[in-house]
Amino acid sequence: MNLPRVQYITHPEEDFSNLSWLDNLAEGGVKWVQLRIKEADLAEFHPNLHFKATLIEIADLIREKTKELSMILTINDHPEIARLSNADGCHIGMEDSKESSDLVDFEIVGGTAHDLNEIDSYSFDMVTYFGVGPYKTTSTKRKIKSVLGIQGYQDLISELKIKNKLKPIFAIGGIEEKDIEGIMKTGVHGIAVSGLLHNNNFDSELIKRVVQKTNNYARSV
């Protein structure tokens, strides 16, 4: 599958009661949304809501809207909810189940990793792409590993090429507009962003610039 190069990951403080931000993303050229809601974040901002019931409800709303906008939808951590909502795929982390039987039906399966060892812990054929980071520190992650920076991505791409294990790599973690050129020139497939767009109120011109720069500076590896 030809994956878009920009993935938007929902922010811990996302407004799911008004989905106009999805319209802004689509208008700016973002074609992929990952629904990421952590139980701890929901408890902090909406302590009276039941986590699983709320996630299912939001997933259904986002799926309906993304279909209307011809956007890809993947869901973080919960393959069963991705399946119930007819999402295009799911994204799993190091602590999640990597059983092929849980993931076999999905067109897209993403895996979170920090380095080559963590990438190797996944069944290579099962995973469509890897979200690798953090590029630098970010407020949307509660547990932060050492930052990779430009050199980290360059080294990882080189190692994957040597091992003949190239898969699309998405840089993630604290990425700002000014970072895009350098990141994309390392050979990663794309970027995953959250705060960059959310904290700027989904400014349409910013979204367009992010998508344009990500595509313009992409290079084949």
On whether residue 132 sits in a domain, the answer given is yes
> Would you say residue 36 has pLDDT above 70?
yes
Cα–Cα distance list, 3 to 75, 88, 140, 163 (Å): 16, 12, 24, 22
Average confidence score pLDDT of the chain: 92
pLDDT at position 188 is 98
Phi and psi for 162 in degrees, rounded to 5?
-60, -40
Enclosing domain of residue 139: 6-215
**Of 48-57, 63-72, 131-140, highest mean pLDDT:** 63-72
Residue 171 burial (CB count, 10 A):
29
66: pLDDT strictly greater than 90: yes
In a domain, 220, yes or no: no
Query: Is 167 inside a domain boundary?
Result: yes
Single-letter amino acid, residue 192: A
- Per-residue pLDDT band at 141 (split at 50, 70, 90): low
> Per-residue DSSP letters for 57-90?
HHHHHHHHHHHHTT-EEEEES-HHHHHHTT-SEE
Buried b (16+ CB within 10 A) or exposed e, 12-43: bebebeebebbebbbebbbbbbbbbbbeebbe
Asked if the model's pLDDT at residue 177 lies above 60, the reply is: yes
Structure-model confidence comparison of residues 95 and 153, the more confident one: 153
Tell me if 169 sits within 8 A of 210, measured CB to CB: no
Contact 31, 214 (CB under 8 A): no
Residue percentage of the chain with pLDDT more than 90: 81
Query: Is residue 48 a part of any domain in this protein?
Result: yes
Domain total in the chain: 1
In this prediction, residue 125 carries a pLDDT of: 86
At residue 132, the pLDDT reads: 98
Measured in degrees and rounded to the nearest 5, phi and psi for residue 211 equal -65, -45
Which pLDDT score, from 0 to 100, does residue 220 have?
Answer: 73
| Residue 178 placed within a domain | yes
- What would the pLDDT profile of 210-220 be if each residue is shown by its tens digit? 999 999 999 87
Q: Rounded CA gap, 117 and 120, in Å? A: 5
CATH number at residue 179: 3.20.20.70
Give pLDDT tens digits for 81-128.
999 999 999 999 887 655 555 676 899 999 999 999 999 999 888 899
**AA identity, residue 63:** R
Report yes or no on 41 lying in a domain: yes
Residue 1 forms part of a structural domain? no
Residue 35 located in a structural domain: yes
